[in-house]
Amino acid sequence: MFFKSSKINEFRLWGLLLTMSGMGLMVLGTAGIVFWGQSGKVIAGIGLVIGLIAMMASMAIYFWAGMLSTSAVQLECPECHKLTKMLGKTDRCMFCKTILTLDPSQATITAEEIERQQTLGHSPETHTNVKKG
Ligand SMILES: [Zn+2]
């Protein structure tokens, strides 16, 4: 993963970037006709085709992200106590970017231990483990 964000947020970011670049290419392609006349039509055609492919790819990513988020595990983050979603066994919290894991062998600290450290008197509802990093 390229950014320090949760997987669902990253999918949305890539979808957005692809949509923007696709739209940019289509605008540039259309501008090609205005600036270069007849010879610009070829550039416009290429720009429109690539732009359309990028837009379709971004739609596929959005759709995929939507499918993934339905299968994502919803839980309360032990760090910030907000409701977050995680994909797979290890993912970051959407809000505080803390690495959360469901695998006890990966964890360096458990939700129960955080509760004890913060001494909030808040009873743990999740069995989430937190990997510090
Ligand atoms: Zn959090």
Note whether 2 and 55 are same-domain residues. yes
Q: In this predicted structure, what is the pLDDT of residue 92?
A: 92
Tell me the pLDDT of the chain (133 aa) as tens digits: 456 788 888 888 888 888 888 888 888 877 877 777 777 778 788 888 888 888 888 888 888 888 877 788 888 998 899 999 888 888 999 899 888 888 888 888 887 887 787 765 554 455 566 676 5
Q: Tell the residue number behind the tokens 């994502």, with chain if given.
A: 72
Q: In this predicted structure, what is the pLDDT of residue 83?
A: 92
Note whether 34 and 62 are same-domain residues. yes
Note whether 29 and 92 are same-domain residues. no
Count of Cβ atoms closer than 10 Å to residue 33 Cβ:
17
Nearest residue to 81 via CA among 131, 132, 125, 133: 125
Domain count for the chain, please give it: 2
Ligand 1 centre to CA of 67 (Å) is 23
Q: In this predicted structure, what is the pLDDT of residue 132?
A: 64
Cα 61 from Cα 56, distance rounded (Å): 9
Ligand 1 centre to CA of 6 (Å) is 10
Note whether 66 and 79 are same-domain residues. no
Q: Which residues surround ligand 1, an ion (CB under 5 A)?
A: 77, 79-80, 93, 95-96
